[in-house]
Each structure stands twice: as C-alpha cells, then as structure tokens.
Amino acid sequence: MSYPMKIRATLSGDKVEVKALIAHEMETGFRKDTAGTLVPAHYIQLVTIQCNGKSVLSAQWGPSVSKNPFLTFRFSGAKKGEKLNITWQDNLGETRSDEVAIT
C-alpha cells in the first residue's frame, strides 16, 4: 500500500504551479541490506498528470530518481477549481492516483 501524494496546484496569472511530493522507496536494485543481500529494484517508471482529462505532463523515470521524489512544474490553460490528477506506475505494477483542485 502506498501513501497519498502531497500535491499543491496554485494558479498565478495564467500559469498553474504544481508541487508534488510522492511517497515511494525508489530502490535501485544495487543496494545491499545488512545481511549483504541485494534489495530488489522497486522504482517509479511512469508519471502522468492530467487536468480535466487533458494530459499536461508525462515522465518516464528510472532507478536513479531519489526516494520520495519531489516534482514541480508549471503549465497554462487551467482555471481555479479544475481537477488535477497525478498517477504513477512502478516496475512491480503498483499504481497510485491522487487528485487535487487548483486553487
């Protein structure tokens, strides 16, 4: 089970600034535990962001992204109150999707 993302989407002028903190272990597959055994790879591969069903960002990530990644970006063409949806999928098939209204 994954924890909810912390998302903030704020409209300023004609741009929406999005800040998201994604809770995920992001294991590379190269780290060893205390017994010397490799910890299996477990990382986010795909992040998609939609505003009212329209794609505004798609990112392919890999094992080099840090634990609990922080993502920030801006886009235009949205209004206050519209819904922003962030979805990720990892290499083990787990997914999480969270939604926030633009303020």
Look up the pTM and report it. Answer: 0.90
pLDDT category, 99, cuts 50, 70, 90? Answer: very high
Structure tokens at 89: 């999928």
Query: Could you name the CATH architecture of 6-101?
Result: Sandwich (2.60)
pLDDT tens-place string over residues 11-40? 999 999 999 999 999 999 999 999 999 999
pLDDT at 2: 73
CB count, 10 Å around CB of 86? 21
pLDDT at 79: 95
Instruction: Check pLDDT > 60 for residue 1.
Output: no
With pLDDT > 70 as the criterion, what percentage of the chain qualifies? 99
- Please give the Cα distance from 60 to 38 (Å, whole number): 24
